[in-house]
A and B are shown apart, each in its own frame.
Chain A
Amino acid sequence: LAKTTQPISMDSYEGQEVNITCSHNNIATNDYITWYQQFPSQGPRFIIQGYKTKVTNEVASLFIPADRKSSTLSLPRVSLSDTAVYYCLVGEVLDSSYKLIFGSGTRLLVRP
């Protein structure tokens, strides 16, 4: 599975848009990019998954450039409840979706 690099932490304020970038230089052709969110004392929760260009759902957008060597998770208008750790993972959906390799993630702190 491709190794990922994310910022260790980020600070933001309520109502702002937050963009968390993940670097994955060794991404393979069949790899997808997936983001999980983890609140303290809880298991991770799936946010969004994509392969190329842009994916949007009700909570976030995922931007993937043409070379796919990085990706950006965008959280619109964050609230205090978005304070969490965000993990970027890269791997094949079918073969690896059940054996996720987590890095240290990005700790997002949203301030009032």
Chain B
Amino acid sequence: NAGVTQTPKFQVLKTGQSMTLQCAQDMNHEYMSWYRQDPGMGLRLIHYSVGAGITDQGEVPNGYNVSRSTTEDFPLRLLSAAPSQTSVYFCASGDGEQFFGPGTRLTVL
């Protein structure tokens, strides 16, 4: 099992650019979620999904879109990147205990 994988590991964007952060899991979990973590802070929930075709908003959803077409994949889209979105992004999956990916470090200039 690869667990939860995220790509890319690092990304630099210019303000206004769009991009998709990829997240995949091979544990057949129904539940998946996206978090962001700013320096020295705890994680904040962006969006989550309880199964293929079902998504919902978390604490800080503005500026992000998600979709869940398969059980395995849960991509996070930044529509128009802003410097305030500079952060580390973690994807998680689990039906109970949550397993977190290694994170994507995003810098928006």
Output the nearest chain B residue to A102 by Cβ-Cβ distance: B42
A36 to B37, CA, bound (A): 15
Chain A residues near B93 (CB-CB < 8 A): 98
Given known contacts A98-B31, A98-B50, A99-B33, A46 and B42 CB-to-CB distance under 8 angstroms: no
Q: Which of A43, A94, A99, A104 contacts B100 (CB 8 A)?
A: A43
B96 proximal to A (CB < 8 A): yes
A65 proximal to B (CB < 8 A): no
Chain B residues near A103 (CB-CB < 8 A): 42
A41 proximal to B (CB < 8 A): yes
A87 to B48, CA, bound (A): 20
Within 8 A of A (CB), among B39-64: 41-45, 48, 50, 58-59
- Mask, B69-99, CB within 8 Å of A = 1, is 0000000000000000000001011111111
The interface on chain B, measured as residues whose beta carbon lies within 8 A of the other chain's beta carbons, has a size of 27
Chain A residues near B31 (CB-CB < 8 A): 97-98
Chain A residues near B58 (CB-CB < 8 A): 99
B21 proximal to A (CB < 8 A): no
B100 contacts A44, C-beta separation under 8 Å: yes
Given known contacts A44-B43, A104-B41, A104-B42, A98 and B59 CB-to-CB distance under 8 angstroms: no
Chain A nearest Cβ from B52, distance in angstroms: 14
Q: Which of A49, A87, A99 contacts B97 (CB 8 A)?
A: A49
Given known contacts A98-B92, A100-B98, A102-B42, A43 and B48 CB-to-CB distance under 8 angstroms: no
A42 proximal to B (CB < 8 A): yes
A105 contacts B48, C-beta separation under 8 Å: no
Footprint of A on B, CB under 8 Å? Answer: 4, 31-33, 35, 41-45, 48, 50, 58-59, 90, 92-103
Kindly list 16 other residue pairs between chains A and B, CB separation below 8 angstroms, not including A98-B98, A102-B44.
A42-B102, A42-B103, A43-B90, A43-B101, A43-B103, A44-B90, A44-B98, A44-B100, A46-B97, A97-B96, A98-B92, A98-B95, A99-B33, A99-B45, A100-B92, A100-B98
In the complex, 29 of the A-B residue pairs with CB atoms within 8 angstroms, ordered by the A residue number, are A36-B98, A42-B100, A42-B102, A43-B4, A43-B101, A44-B90, A45-B100, A46-B97, A46-B98, A93-B96, A97-B31, A97-B94, A97-B97, A98-B31, A98-B32, A98-B94, A98-B95, A99-B45, A99-B48, A100-B33, A100-B92, A100-B98, A101-B45, A101-B59, A102-B35, A102-B42, A103-B42, A104-B41, A104-B42
